[in-house]
Amino acid sequence: MEHRQRVFENRALMKIFGPKRNKVTGEWKRPHIEQFYDLYSSPDIIRVIKSRRMGLAGHVARMGYRRGVYRVLLGRPEGKRPLGRPRHTWEGNIKN
């Protein structure tokens, strides 16, 4: 998932800053992604998502037991799981 988010960010930066024209030769050249990071001063998308996820986890952890979100976080579903690879859970993402 991180790879897909990073690809999205790179494509967005390419569209925003676009190719640059060389003044001497007149050729168009697409700059390398590190040059875009120099132009773009905000932190990368992965860091922002992780920090917001941790902030939300702290907010939910401080909630009381009567709140529905807290009960969903701590609760265990009943029944059998479907066959195949287990899905990623929100709690598993936070631990990673």
At 27 the pLDDT is 84
Residue 90 pLDDT: 73
Alpha carbon of 31 to those of 7, 36, 66: distances in Å? 16, 7, 53
The tens place of each residue's pLDDT in the chain, 96 residues long, gives: 888 888 888 888 888 877 778 788 888 887 777 777 777 777 778 888 888 888 888 888 888 878 888 877 777 767 787 788 877 777 777 777
Residue 92: per-residue pLDDT: 76
pTM: 0.55
Rounded CA-CA distance 41/80 in Å is 47
**Which sequence spans correspond to the domains of the chain?**
1-42, 43-78+88-96
Distance CA 91, CA 96 (A): 9
Q: Which pLDDT does position 32 carry in this prediction?
A: 77
**Identity of the amino acid at 25:** T
**3-class SS string, 47-93:** HHHHHHHHHHHHHHHCCCCCCHHHHHHHCCCCCCCCCCCCCCCHHHH
Q: Which residue matches tokens 């773009």? A: 40
